Amino acid sequence: MRVLIIGSLGGELGTAAGIAGRRGARLEHTDDIGGALQRLRSDGRVNLVLCELGQPIAELVRALTHERIAVPVIACGPEDDPDAAARAVRDGAQDFLPLPPDPELIAAFLESASGETHALMARDPLMLDTVQRAEQVARSEASVLITGESGTGKEVLARHIHRRSRRADAPFIALNCAAIPEHLLESELFGHEKGAFSGAVARRIGKFEAAHGGTLLLDEISEMDVRLQAKLLRAIQEREIDRLGGSAPVKIDVRILATSNRDLAAEAAAGRFREDLYFRLNVVGLPIPPLRARPGDISLLSAHFVRHYAQVNGLPPRPLSEAAMRLLLRHQWRGNVRELENAMHRAVLMASGPQIDVDAVMLPGMGPAPANRPASELAAPIGAVFPSCGVIEDPPYHQVEEANPISGLVGRRMDEVEQALILGTLHSTSGNRTHAATILGISIRALRNKLRDYASQGVSVPPPAAGVAA
């Protein structure tokens, strides 16, 4: 995790940098945006930019856009200047970090940028089988395609494979193909030469070169444009890439991992994904079962999230009651691990007694318990815990039908319905922008644009919650 700090380190920004460093970030520093742009052009491994409020943030964001550099910029400034913070966000900053800094909020920004949150844990036989097969292939050089529904932990498993591989000491670079606009994605992958397009004022190193010697994760690969798939296929086959505007190929040594929440075989058969690329990626296929199909993991993960969010919020640790656990085991978990995490965060905050009981566990429409699984598996002893990497998120998931799903929407305008859905989803994720965007099936950029519009209209928008990826 690399963080670039822009501005003076003599005050509170230096304190924020120190906190980020203690949280495991590798820090880079420049005094101004000119130096920052030089650093970002030369190294595609920077995950996050913290920029002092006095810097020309609009100019920085414009330059990043023109040069097709996709990296989040967080403005940092005094918490008693909300107007300046609002201007920074309007200028293109992805978010605002008030100073003096809150360590947990910094941790949230780091987690959101790096994709790492909680430990990878498994108890259920289905998930243990998946993890075992992942570890079997981890030390090979084979490409791996990880598939599964929203929130099942696909990037978590990818990071676990990297950490158990012979490339563990080399870079792990993740690129979300669904979150980056199509016109930026090619440059992010392959880099570009000076003059390759309007705004390309210097050479830019892409993710392939940044991952040289290590692992490149192509998250949500099914969202990549077919034209770009052809160039990706050539890079994998020839082990070389062509920078945009380049005159000679660049040799690369990268292991490819990919994830998708779609059936890529079906996508290829329908002509929406290149079949030859599918076969190149799917040397080893690892489907992750949904949480509802592995109830043995529910008790393990729920206890983990309860401990984590009690600590984050400075609350005493409290166990889940037996009745609350039965409630969790009956739920369908359409949002998988992500939904469970948010439910446990709410429960920790809402519980009032010595235990977390059913009154604190607020879940939408309960469904029947998962079928065709022995009851003994619901409380199976811990088979294994893999403490390597974070539980991560993915886009759209399969929904189950509920009674009268639109009864409260008839007669309302479409924009009102959309606003209610977006704000309701944001409330359900405790203000977590990344999770909300994923659940809604839209990009984080699209979500933030909507929220800015609502705020400008005087609508109350939930702020990012401390301790949760924003």
Per-residue pLDDT tens over the stretch 19-35: 888 877 889 999 999 99
Query: Which is more confidently placed, 437 or 169?
Result: 169
Q: Give the confidence band of 404 by pLDDT, cuts at 50, 70, 90.
A: very low
Q: How confident is the model at residue 199 (pLDDT cuts 50, 70, 90)?
A: confident
The DSSP call for residue 291 is: G
Mean pLDDT value of segment 384-408: 36
> b/e per residue, 425-449, with b = 16+ CB within 10 A?
bbebbbbbbbbbbbbbebbbeebbe
Which residue's entry shows tokens 């909680």?
118
pLDDT at residue 367, rounded to an integer = 40
Residues 59 and 194 in one domain: no
Q: What CATH number corresponds to the domain at position 80?
A: 3.40.50.2300
Co-location of 105 and 43 in the same domain: yes
59 part of a folded domain: yes
Domain edge (last residue) among 287, 319, 350: 287
pLDDT at 372: 43
- Higher pLDDT: 465 or 170? It is 170
Q: Which of 252-256, 271-275, 432-436 comes out lowest in average pLDDT?
A: 432-436
- Are 291 and 340 within 8 A, CB to CB? yes
pTM of the model: 0.65
d(CA 309, CA 187): 38
Q: What is the CATH number of the domain that holds 329?
A: 1.10.8.60
Asked if residue 327 and residue 217 are part of one domain, the reply reads no
- Among 128-132, 181-185, 227-231, 276-280, the minimum mean pLDDT is found in 181-185
Distance from C-alpha of 370 to C-alpha of 334, rounded to nearest angstrom: 12
281 vs 432, higher pLDDT: 281
pLDDT of residue 327: 94
CATH number, domain at 425?
Answer: 1.10.10
- Farthest CA pair distance, the chain: 68
What beta strand segments (E) does 271-347 contain? 284-287
> Last residue of a domain, which of 44, 74, 109?
109
Q: Is the pLDDT of residue 323 over 90?
A: yes
Is the same domain home to 164 and 264? yes
Cα–Cα distance between 439 and 429 in angstroms, integer? 9
Mean pLDDT of 95-101: 86
Other beta carbons less than 10 A from residue 243's beta carbon: 21
136 shares a domain with 236: yes
**Domain containing 50: what range?**
2-109
Task: Examine the pLDDT at 432 and tell me if it is beyond 90.
Answer: no
The pLDDT-based confidence of 365 (bands split at 50, 70, 90) is low
Average pLDDT over residues 358-384: 53
Cα 90 → chain centroid = 23
- Residues 288-303 have pLDDT tens digits of 999 999 999 998 899 8
Looking up tokens 């203000």 gives 431
pLDDT at position 81 over 60? yes
**For residue 411, what pLDDT is reported?**
57
Digit-coded pLDDT (tens) for 133-154 = 999 999 999 999 999 998 899 9
Tell me how far apart the terminal alpha carbons of the chain are, to the nearest angstrom: 17
CA dist 247 and 64 (Å) reads 24
pLDDT of residue 412: 66
Q: Is residue 430 one of the residues assigned to a domain?
A: yes
Q: Could you tell me if residue 395 is inside a domain? A: no
Q: How far apart are CA 265 and CA 276, in angstroms?
A: 11
Question: 333 phi and psi, to 5 degrees?
Answer: 50, 60
Considering 109, 129, 144, which residue would you say is the last residue of a domain? 109
Query: Lowest-pLDDT range, 114-123, 203-212, 361-370, 446-455?
Result: 361-370
Give the chain's count of helices (H) and strands (E). Answer: 18, 14
Considering the domain architecture, whether residues 280 and 306 belong to the same structural domain is answered as no
Domain assignment present for residue 145? The answer is yes
The verdict on residue 136 lying in a domain is yes
Residue 376 lies in a domain: no
Give the domain CATH number at 126: 3.40.50.300
Same-domain pairing of 320 and 418:
no
Task: Give 201-220 as a DSSP string.
Answer: -S-B--HHHHTTTSEEEEET
Same domain, 266 and 140: yes
Give me the mean pLDDT over the 228-239 stretch.
95
In a domain, 469, yes or no: no
Q: C-alpha 230: how far from its chain's center?
A: 26
Q: Are 397 and 336 in contact (CB under 8 A)?
A: yes
In the predicted structure, residue 377 carries a pLDDT above the cut 50: no
What is the model's pLDDT at position 146? 97
Domains identified in the chain, total number: 4
Whether 316 and 262 share a structural domain: no
Domain co-membership, 265 together with 126:
yes
Q: Give yes or no: residues 282 and 301 share one domain.
A: no
Instruction: Give me the DSSP letters along 6-33.
Output: ES-SSSHHHHHHHHHHHTTPEEEEESSH
Mean pLDDT of the chain: 82
Residues 320 and 447 in one domain: no
Phi/psi of residue 153, nearest 5 degrees: 105, 35
pLDDT at 402: 35
321, part of any domain: yes
What does the block give as tokens for 392?
A: 């991560």
Q: Is 399 a residue whose pLDDT tops 60?
A: no
CA angle 89, 90, 95 (to 5 degrees): 15
Question: Is the pLDDT assigned to residue 357 strictly greater than 50?
Answer: yes
Q: Which residues are CB-neighbours of 189 under 8 A, at least 6 positions away?
A: 175, 206, 207, 208, 228, 232, 241
